[in-house]
Chain A
Amino acid sequence: MAAFVWLTVITALRILGRNRLRAGLTMLGIVIGVAAVIAMVSIGEGAKRAVQKQIATMGTNVIIIWPGATTVSGVRGSQGGAVTLTVSDALDLKKKIPLLSDTGWAKRDVMQIVNGNRNWNGTINGVSPSYLTIRDWSFSSGGPFTQADLDSAARVALIGQTVAENLFEPGEEPVGAIIRIKNVPFRVIGVLSPKGQSAQGSDQDDVIFIPFTTAERKVFGTPFLGSVGAVFASTDRTDDLPEAVEQIREVIRARHRLQGEQADDFTIRTQVDIGKVQEGTSQTLTMMLFAIASVSLLVGGIGIMNILLVSVTERTREIGVRMAVGAKRRHIVMQFLIEAVTLSVFGGALGIILGVMGAKLTTVIAGWPTIISSNVIIIAFFFSLVVGLFFGLYPANKAARLNPIDALRYE
């Protein structure tokens, strides 16, 4: 049996080698299909990984509550409306919901920051110290401000990498320096570790954090003290997020005295929700890839079937001879299946090489991250094999069903 399979493979290769152009054209569909799948899955995986990394920079198990209702279309209403979230909301949430490991709050505005003769328009965030831990900010030098700084409305600032690069000379140490925000002097006590782009594409390192109290009293000039731009909360376990969201909704609705039918005057999102949007995008991409892959593999498969049907016709006499000297049906079936699989697997292998090269080229030329997983290669290979088997089956059976005498007589 082993000798039979081996010799049949050699025979198949010889026959394919004899009609190289024909074999090449036949394989083209499989080659393109597999190459497209490999290249695009690699690009998709790369993009997905990048997005996941960005989402992870939000901090773990984070819940964000914004003031303002969600409209039907899912877009949040303008933040300029009535003040609906306050520091006491945040504090009360922590007190009433044991599931929450911490709550924090923040408010932001874009302002000019000056250091000597350099200046920069950056996003000033007035935040509670807890916000920094919830969002997982760490420091490349210096450290965070404390509850005491918040209580005393201290004029201390933490600056992001982008801000540091724009306000300070290379090599100059920002920690300890005095910068001015809206002409109020602040001492820089920490430089944040870079986080890169957010999932939405904005620069997360273009930030300045100052204590919330300092921001509202000395910089922003808020009409209502205690109103926040957003409340942040975190849970210890990801699985607790849905329950925590429900409890938060109840507590805030009660605090805001919303009756049964009245809509929320706030919006709650979790990291999981945001991840889902991204997932949706990559799923669309996956579906598209799937469609492309199926179509090209189908076309490739039909090509193989077609060429094998031609081959069966061309070699009818040969089939007759083989039957006359004792080939059974399964021998003939095997012979043509092996030819089909040789074609498709050869095409698949070429496609894999082309696809990997394509992915690598995309990284080099367009700078997109790509991830070539061994899984996709194995699956692509397996698929090309299955395509060969599936589309080889009909011609192979057709050959095996020939009557030996008719086959021998065939002109």
Chain B
Amino acid sequence: MTSLIECQDIWKIYRVGDVEVQALRGLSLTIEQGEFVAIMGSSGSGKSTLMNILGCLDQPTKGRYQLNGIEVGQLRPDQLAEIRNQRIGFVFQSFNLIPRTSALENAQLPLFYRGLSLKEQRAQAAEAIRRVGLTGWEHHFPTQLSGGQQQRVAIARALVTSPSLLLADEPTGNLDTQSSQEIMAILEGLNREGITVILVTHEVDVAAYASREIIIKDGQVLSDRATEPRPQSVGV
């Protein structure tokens, strides 16, 4: 059986003018289906760069990345878009909801590009909104929602396509403790349902939700260990 994610000797080199930045330097990593992984590391260590590559938003300069056995490095932009649409959900630190567009329509967005009928889009988006506990807020615009609520809409958008992989780059970075806990509880729930969750964070309590902790330093894996499953959280 192939692993969900297999990275081998991945390099990512940015060139800014004459300066060359090696964001990833020969990083290798394997993640199985159903894992809950926290990636940590100091600022500039290459966490976001890695997440972008794992999420097929970007391609490595060198090295092999296989997602579900598919060699991602060889794919064209439209094929990458297809994979993002079918298999991956993103949650960003800054929510990245489309402004002046309702919560429901934001959650609908990935389905919009799947060619589903409008009715199906609505129904599935409403279900996703329900799963993040925002029933009743469907027609609110992002500006009418709190940060925590906005991030929940973003999670609804990420899970509406039933992805096998959910990537969250500092999802709680802009949130208070209370909201952070709510968001993490949702992610934990999704992981229990079988979705592989990879999350980047600077906060130890947030990382504690994961069952595996990877620390990155200078574009390489510094440590990789299984962590104690934290006590079951009570309620959401």
Contacts and interface: CB of A to CB of B under 8 A. Distances in A.
Interface residues of A, number: 24
Interface string B72-105: 0000011001101110001010001111100000
A329 B78 contact: yes
Contact of A328 (B81, B118, B121): B81
Q: Which of B57, B82, B116, B117 has the most CB of A within 10 A?
A: B57
A310 to B, nearest CB: 16
Interface string A287-330: 00000000000000000000000000000011011111111111
Nearest to B52: A405
Interface of B: 52, 55, 57-58, 77-78, 81-82, 84-86, 90, 92, 96-100, 109-110, 112-118, 121, 157, 161
Contacts of B109: 321-322, 325
A404 B53 CA distance: 12
14 contacts: A3-B116, A3-B118, A7-B118, A317-B96, A323-B81, A326-B81, A326-B161, A328-B113, A330-B78, A404-B57, A405-B52, A408-B57, A408-B92, A408-B96
Given A3-B121, A405-B52, A325 B90 contact: yes
Contact of A4 (B77, B85, B112): B112
Interface in A313-370: 317-318, 320-331
A121 to B, nearest CB: 78
B109 to A, nearest CB: 5
Contact of A325 (B77, B85, B100, B116): B85
Contact of B114 (A324, A326, A405): A326
B115 to A, nearest CB: 6
Nearest to A3: B118
Contacts of B116: 3
A6 interface: yes
A322 B85 CA distance: 10
A320 B110 CA distance: 13
Nearest to B77: A329
A1 interface: yes
B115 A325 contact: no
B47 to A, nearest CB: 14
Contacts of B85: 325-326
A325 B157 contact: yes
A90 to B, nearest CB: 80
A328 B57 contact: no
A257 interface: no
A323 B110 CA distance: 9
Given A3-B121, A408-B92, A326 B115 contact: no
Q: Which of A3, A321, A324, A408 has the most CB of B within 10 A?
A: A324
A18 B110 CA distance: 24
A3 B92 CA distance: 28
B96 A321 contact: yes
A327 B118 contact: no
B217 to A, nearest CB: 22
A7 B81 contact: no
Interface string A1-25: 1011011000000100010000000
Nearest to A321: B96
Contact of B113 (A6, A320, A327): A327
A122 B113 CA distance: 81
Contacts of B92: 408
Q: Which of B86, B92, B113, B157 has the most CB of A within 10 A?
A: B113
Contacts of A18: 100
A4 B96 contact: no
Q: Which of A14, A326, A327, A408 has the most CB of B within 10 A?
A: A326
Contacts of B113: 4, 322, 325-328, 331
Contacts of B118: 3, 6-7
A322 B57 CA distance: 12
B81 A327 contact: yes
A96 to B, nearest CB: 80
B84 A324 contact: yes
Contacts of A330: 78
B84 A326 contact: yes
B82 A326 contact: yes
The 7 A-B pairs of least Cβ separation, nearest first, read A326-B85, A325-B110, A326-B113, A328-B78, A328-B81, A3-B118, A321-B96
Contacts of B110: 325-326
Contacts of A405: 52, 57-58
A147 B82 CA distance: 92
B112 A7 contact: yes
A183 B48 CA distance: 112
Nearest to B99: A318
A312 to B, nearest CB: 15
Interface in A155-183: none
Contacts of B84: 323-326
A245 B92 CA distance: 86
B123 to A, nearest CB: 13
A323 B114 CA distance: 13
A14 to B, nearest CB: 8
B76 to A, nearest CB: 10
A3 B82 contact: no
Contacts of A317: 96
Given A326-B86, A328-B113, 16 more contacts: A3-B112, A7-B112, A7-B118, A317-B96, A321-B96, A321-B97, A323-B81, A323-B84, A325-B157, A326-B85, A327-B81, A329-B78, A329-B81, A330-B78, A404-B58, A405-B57
B115 A1 contact: yes
Contacts of A4: 112-113, 115
Contacts of A3: 112, 115-118, 121
